[in-house]
């Protein structure tokens, strides 16, 4: 038995080597010597697993180049030597194992399913950063993903653009497909739904349209507000909604406002939305913005000092899309100047034009301090010093008060800016100014603070 097994193994190895030798010889005739020697000369055959020819490259760059730029060359060569049934996969040297192959096969299947369902492969729960701004929406989305059609149906997520609604919706879809690849999941925008409905009417393919949207387990429709004033589309959507709901199929909707605020949406549709779970996503606070930037930098394989991430999180507070765009800009700018340290000064330079259009809305502790100093004719150094005369201490307390009111900076960070003072000092300053505003001279102080606030906001 041992001899038979050894002979069988040797035959398999011989077939593998023969296929590889024939394939590589043919590829060599199609490429220049430089190209062949650079990418293919050191390529080695490992095994054939489920009609996939496993190859090994000594260079990670070579692996990527062969699988992308020369993929068709390899497949065509396999076909020409009589093995068109084979696909191929290139691994970095020493990384191939059967377990790794199975994991990769599952990942590739999930990617293929995701693409068919209209999903971005990056929009998963693992890549979603939780914070106080999105806890309810996240919890509801996870519950729906784990028990589609049973937990919250429908689930309606709303919030301003760029806050993560689409990410959370698609994370639901990914989770459902990962758990059960046989599930039929579809993510579309309401605009796509509308356009496909119009096409089905003009081409007399209404039944195909209805099968696509009703013969499904999970339907996710984004930007539902675009159905406003589209009466015909609203009627078809209502019927689709009912068909899915009655069959316990999961429906997830996202919009930029509450259901009741989409005024021209039919009342019966708004009522359906409100019958399930309605969860909102707010702009992220400072800590969540920093966490988002950390995750983004980690995914990009780049190490950035926390002070730089903190600066970006301070000057970009409107939405996640702009936050990530700012980080991308800083990273790109740093690559242009490889000899410079990636510090706050470089980040400020990189974001100068990026923030130009929104400069009046960027409120930071330094900006607040500058306005206060100008008002009371003191310097920033004065406010950051240990000096305690009233003409310095009181403007310092006002600056702390405004920093707490107009930014999301925590007390300890504000105190750190003002000469390393602790959070209790800032809390006292906030309390004192609040009390003074209620006191005998409160009206005058209030006018002064309101004037400073307008200048800080650029009004």
pLDDT above 50 for 6? no
Q: What is the mean pLDDT of the chain?
A: 85
User: What is the predicted pLDDT for the residue at 98?
Assistant: 64
Q: 161 φ, ψ to 5°?
A: -60, 145
DSSP string, 94-163: T---HHHHHHHHHHHHHHHHHHHTT--TT-SSTTPPP-TTTHHHHHHHHHHHHSTTTSSSSEEEE-STTS
Residue 20 pLDDT = 94
pTM of the model: 0.58
Tokens of 212: 């696509």
Per-residue model confidence as pLDDT tens digits over 118-132: 788 788 998 899 988
Cα distances (Å, whole numbers) of residue 325 to 204, 297, 328, 331, 338: 43, 12, 5, 10, 20
Q: Residue 64: pLDDT above 70? A: yes
Q: For residue 367, what are the CA distances in angstroms to 222, 232, 314, 352, 373? A: 38, 51, 11, 15, 10
Instruction: Say if residue 85 is exposed, middle or buried (CB neighbours under 10 Å; 0-12, 13-18, 19+).
Output: exposed
Comparing CA positions, the residue from 35, 102, 22 lying closest to residue 65 is 35
The set of residues, in sequence order, having a beta carbon less than 8 Å from that of 130 and lying 6+ positions away, is 138, 288
Report the alpha-carbon distance of residue 312 to residue 307 in Å, rounded: 9
Instruction: Give the CA dihedral 152, 153, 159, 165, nearest 10 degrees.
Output: 90
Q: How confident is the model at residue 24 (pLDDT cuts 50, 70, 90)?
A: very high
Domains of the chain with bracketed CATH: 8-96 (3.30.300.180), 125-280 (3.40.50.300), 286-358 (1.10.8.60), 365-457 (1.10.1750.10)
Lowest mean pLDDT among 106-110, 191-195, 200-204, 242-246: 106-110
Question: What pLDDT is stored for residue 458 in this prediction?
Answer: 67
- The predicted structure's pLDDT at residue 293: 93
* 310 vs 317: CA distance, rounded Å: 11
* Structural tokens at position 101: 């192959």
């Amino acid at each position: 038995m041992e001899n038979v097994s050894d002979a069988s193994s040797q035959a398999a190895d011989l077939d593998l080597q023969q296929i590889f030798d024939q394939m590589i010889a043919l590829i060599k005739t199609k490429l220049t010597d430089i190209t062949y020697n650079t990418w293919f000369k050191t390529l080695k055959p490992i095994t054939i697993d489920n009609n996939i020819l496993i190859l090994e490259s000594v260079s990670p760059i070579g692996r990527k180049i062969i699988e992308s730029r020369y993929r068709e060359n390899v497949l065509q060569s396999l076909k020409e030597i009589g093995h068109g049934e084979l696909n191929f996969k290139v691994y970095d040297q020493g990384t191939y194992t059967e377990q790794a192959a199975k994991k990769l096969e599952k990942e590739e299947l999930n990617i293929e399913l995701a693409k068919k369902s209209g999903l971005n492969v990056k929009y998963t729960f693992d890549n979603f950063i939780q914070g106080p701004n999105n806890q309810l929406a996240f919890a509801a989305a996870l519950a729906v993903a784990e028990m589609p059609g049973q937990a919250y149906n429908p689930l309606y997520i709303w919030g301003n653009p760029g806050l993560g609604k689409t990410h959370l919706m698609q994370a639901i879809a990914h989770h459902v497909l990962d758990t059960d690849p046989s599930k039929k999941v579809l993510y579309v925008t309401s605009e796509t739904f509308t356009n496909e409905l119009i096409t089905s009417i003009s081409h007399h393919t209404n039944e195909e349209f209805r099968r696509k949207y009703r013969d499904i387990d999970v339907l996710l429709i984004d930007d539902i507000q675009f159905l406003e004033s589209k009466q015909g589309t609203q009627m078809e959507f209502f019927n689709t909604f009912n068909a899915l709901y009655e069959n316990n199929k999961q429906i997830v909707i996202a919009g930029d406002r509450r259901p009741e605020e989409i005024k021209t949406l039919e009342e019966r549709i708004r009522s359906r939305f409100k019958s399930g779970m309605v969860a909102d996503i707010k702009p992220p606070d400072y800590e969540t913005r920093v966490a988002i930037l950390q995750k983004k930098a980690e995914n990009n394989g780049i190490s950035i000092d926390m002070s730089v991430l903190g600066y970006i999180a301070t000057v970009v507070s409107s939405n996640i899309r702009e936050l990530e765009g700012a980080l991308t800009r800083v990273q790109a700018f740093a690559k242009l100047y490889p000899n410079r340290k990636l510090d706050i000064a470089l980040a400020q330079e990189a974001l100068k034009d990026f923030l130009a259009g929104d400069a009046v809305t960027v409120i930071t502790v330094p900006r607040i301090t500058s306005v206060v100093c100008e008002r009371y004719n003191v310097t920033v150094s004065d406010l950051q010093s240990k000096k305690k005369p009233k003409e310095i201490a009181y403007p310092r307390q006002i600056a702390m008060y405004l920093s707490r009111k107009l930014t999301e900076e925590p007390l300890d960070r504000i105190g750190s800016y003002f000469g390393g003072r602790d959070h209790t000092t800032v809390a006292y300053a906030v309390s004192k100014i609040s009390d003074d505003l209620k006191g005998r001279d409160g009206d005058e102080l209030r006018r002064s603070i309101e004037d400073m606030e307008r200048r800080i906001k650029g009004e």
